[in-house]
Structure 1
Amino acid sequence: MNGNRFGRLFQLTTFGESHGEAMGVTVSGCPAGLELDEADVQAELDRRKPGQSHITTSRGEPDAVAIKSGVQDGYTTGTPIGMVIENKDARSGKYEPFITAPRPSHGDFTYSAKFGTRNWGGGGRSSARETVNWVAAGAIAKKILATEGVEVRAHVNQIGDIEAPPVSWEDLGEHTEENEVRCAHPETAEEMRDLIDEYQEAGDSIGGSVYFETRGVPRGLGAPRFDGVPSRLGQAFMSIPATTAFEFGLGRGAREVAGIDRNEDWEFDADGDPVPVGNDHGGLQGGITTGEPIYGEITWHAPTSIPKEQTTVDWETGEEKEAQVIGRHDPVLPPRAVPVVEAMLACTLLDFMLLGGRINPDRLDGQPGEYDTDYHPSQPE
């Protein structure tokens, strides 16, 4: 099975199944000299982990990370960073009825049809639990980007038909983590919570979306066509389970805007450099960053694991049967997807910055190829 690696210079390679012994990720391409410990990664994993509130799965996973390689005396060494997160609360028995009877709208049958087998416990490799690996890698990417003044933020901007008004960069930083919906507009968050409760009480689920934004990204990242920043972001975001759409800038709204209105004039900034007037392009023109904030949103469909009765077929017996997915599942996905979005955004941007020479791929100080004999962060003074 391929498709377990993401990135070119900053690469994450993941392993693990939802109900296996552990999840894990190897991060290659992290420069030497980054101060890093497990607490840095754990802070991000705690935002994604299950059991945070009544609107998330009750699965009791601490998601405690253990760094197994690539760090010595609190600093990265430049070698691959291996991280493991053990599964502590897997209960595979509830999935036995679906070994040969696929759950509606899951990857059960498609995985079995392709490979002739699958790990059926909790969805195995196709489970969204696998994104715990991405968030672990993203924690490292976010910390490196911060050294360059680049920051990523996100929040839930819509659940069902309830949409939050536009929020400021400051609100994204101050209010997103204040409520369990992770909506940076507190009044809308309450309405969203009420709607989620309605679907949860009915044994159903509902979809929604996450808005993301970056600040501090330099101009000139990306390349035309297949290596454009939006092209790579599309791959990153559409890889998140249950996503159905990714858009940036005006997004779908561009269908209703005339060219003269969408086109952005140019002017000189304080340094005498040309800059676009406005940012309907979402910080991206010709697949390359303009230096303006990159923003957009990602949409998720309603979670497919619901307790309402549905119909499936058993491909061994050839019979139709009723399917009722009994287990611990989220009634809505965007609240726990916020840190996943930030992680994949950070990993993608860091990869471009390394490729573009904005960050030394070997060391976080000095020029490529230099070796400073006085630089030994792991050596006791």
Structure 2
Amino acid sequence: MSQSSLVNVDVAIVGGGMSGAVLALSLAALRGADGEPLRVLLLEASAPELNAHPGFDARAIALSAGTCEALARHGIWPRFAPHCAPITHIHVSDKGHAGQTHLTAAEYGLPALGQVIELSAAGITLQQGMAQCPHIRVCCPAQLADIEPLEEGVRLRLASGEHYQTRLLVAADGGNSTVRQHFKLPVTRHDYGQSAIIATVKTAEDPAGRAFERFTEGGPLALLPMQEGLSSLVWSVQRDQADALMALDEQAFLAQLQQAFGWRLGRFLQTGVRHVYPLALAATDYPLAQRTVLVGNAAHLLHPIAGQGFNLGMRDLDLLTQALARALAAGEDIGSFEVLNGYWRQRRDDQAHTIWLTSSLAQLFSNGHGPLVAGRNLALSLMGRLGCLKAPLANQTLGFVSQTTR
């Protein structure tokens, strides 16, 4: 291979879903000590049609207040804002039991606890942003054929025959990360034996900013408020029950949903296309390799309970961007072990705590054992009465998590 056929970039991101695209835009705004912008390469395997893109499908996600602040810091929030619906109230309950608690934006002095955005809308605005940025080179569809770590960089070969060399490689390619597999990074896995049914639903009553987390016999059921009076449903059920629910016609499905959720938003009137996803934990024990870092779902694929998935990933992107900005200002090598390990020291406690929290909640609230049911309902009741007990849940939900360096 001739040197003329090798394209040099500063950062190569594998994966063009939410995490990869947000990171690309965040990094493209950085400048080195010489004032030159970072050259960012984004490699995405899927064709650009958003309706078929696995990273921008029919789901909607909740962006915590902390995530919205981070997006604003990196200049991305103005792109998302027109497509978002605010969450002003969160109601948490356990089906068939009295325990419940509430979170409201007013009690925390916030305009909203978070925002809900459809992934398809997010995908469109992120792709528009990258297309308008001269420092981002998007290759899509692009199949990564080989990764060759070198002392001075990482060399990438695409199936098309193109060759790139980057100072830093970032894996944002999801729970089945090819980059993670290439480096054989150890992963902690757990199958919850559940699947999540995802759909947009219409209720008789407008959710008007209200989000719900309802714990049922089969798993948690969440409704997130969307624009135009709709709600996004994330219903976690046992895997065999998911197959049965997916086989029902619309009216029969809505009847089952009504029975599980109750009548807090009146009658369920309509559902859009239903999708089903198996639920499992996949957490990388140490998300670093030679000049390489894993972020988002490539580093930690979580249960959707409490809506922590992308919000945890956004804290990865935020802290990584800040770490690289400091390194650039100091004239340091952005792909060096010192820079990446410093980033990981800031992230590991938050990642470990969030993984533990979501796994614990998923198992606690999917268990019908009598003492556990009594204990969790007592906890919900006390949180509803004592603000000091609710604070840890609120801090995690809001995404205001302190970062420590050790």
TM surpasses 0.5: no
User: Aligning the two structures, in what range does the TM-score lie when normalised by the shorter sequence?
Assistant: under 0.3
Q: TM-score, normalised by structure 1?
A: 0.26
Greater helix fraction, Structure 1 or Structure 2: 2
Structure having the higher strand fraction is 2
